[in-house]
Structure 1
């Protein structure tokens, strides 16, 4: 599964009731998980021992949790809640009616697009588990690492860029609808300023 080594394979069902009991979840949290998730199975344990790699300083292992979804338009908060509750590094393999995607929580929820389960792949890159885990986040998030940036710096930069692009699109829409030449000119100037900032990022 996902092109991961056979040595990492597990097939350990994770009953929702066990999660609820262990982490003493509120009725509202249980209801949210129940609304989205039908079943969960731990399908891989990717660890230093199983891969014959050096343990990381922060990461010793990560788990792949196969999640059967009741609906394609699931609440992202459900996965964020699970990520924060379970004290393990986790990759979610989300499945719904013959389609699948990968998700991982790292400061925010990162996801691949939906595709067929066979098309999903996780390459193991790195000599330590820290490096492997960072590469997993980069792969799932589709992050283009720029020279000299740490993963955290790149994520912050990407988020700032996305906000700028959104603001430019909003102002361009306003400029197209603006009838007064003076206001239109001011909007265009602001758009050009923001585009200049975008190029420098």
Structure 2
């Protein structure tokens, strides 16, 4: 059991609820119909059910388990569910007894929902998922879920943790810089003109120096 018995909710949600009478593309509706078998609202993590302090931005964390017909799931399905439910969500995807945990950095302000990129684990046995309830309030429990699931992807810069939003922005900045370096290296390999090659190599050195800061 991943979470305390007191948090159990165990309510089946008809998948049709997310695409009937809602604006949705035909491709996304097809993903709901073909890729998903069953959706369960398994747990409600709250300050009361976890016996911790309330959060400033996180009131509840819903644990949604999605049983799949294959290992593939369009991530826009998760985004659609996230935008329909005005609470923070931890997704558990199940296929043939193996699980993946998915979570996004989700911001909710003035009833407006902004869903950031998703972080996920490898396929694991359920009891091995890195989803430990850690923290003295709901904000820190949610932040720690993201850090556990993201793992090394958010482990950038100094060992001292900044706030979660800053860490996510820094990790994304590093990722974009690595993409630029990779693209520039490919360009250098294709360039025949010596002077142009020198220019590109100088640019590459600057980018690598920027990357060293992370």
Could you tell me the TM-score, scaled by structure 1's length? 0.89
Alignment partner, residue 186 of structure 1: 199
Alignment partner, residue 136 of structure 1: 145
Alignment partner, residue 109 of structure 2: none
Alignment partner, residue 129 of structure 2: 120
Q: Distance in 2 between matches of 1:25 and 1:70?
A: 24
The SS at the match of 1:132 is helix
Alignment partner, residue 176 of structure 1: 189
Alignment partner, residue 22 of structure 2: 24
Structure 1 gaps of 5+ residues are: none
Q: Per-residue CA shift, 1:160-199, capped at 9, x if unaligned?
A: 1001001111111222232222222222111110011111
Q: Distance in 2 between matches of 1:119 and 1:140?
A: 12
My pick for the range that moved more, 164-173 or 112-121, is 112-121
Q: What is the count of residue pairs matched by the alignment? A: 199
After superposition, residues 75-154 of structure 1 pair within 5 angstroms as 75-106=74-105, 107-142=116-151, 143-144=154-155, 146=158, 147=160, 149-154=162-167
1:156 Cα offset (Å): 0.7
Q: Distance in 2 between matches of 1:27 and 1:170?
A: 33
1:69 Cα offset (Å): 1.7
Q: Distance in 1 between matches of 2:212 and 2:201?
A: 17
**Does the alignment pair 1:195 with 2:176?**
no
Cα distance change, pair 120–148 in 1 and its aligned pair in 2 (3 A)? closer
1:97 Cα offset (Å): 2.8
Structure 2 gaps of 5+ residues are: 106-115
1:11 Cα offset (Å): 1.8
Cα distance change, pair 190–27 in 1 and its aligned pair in 2 (3 A)? closer
- Tell whether the 8 Å contact from 2:130 to 2:149 is kept in structure 1 after alignment: no
Q: Distance in 1 between matches of 2:164 and 2:6?
A: 28
Runs of 4+ residues over 4 Å off in structure 1: none
The CA RMSD measured in Å over matched residues stands at: 2.0
The SS at the match of 1:155 is helix
- Tell whether the 8 Å contact from 1:68 to 1:94 is kept in structure 2 after alignment: yes
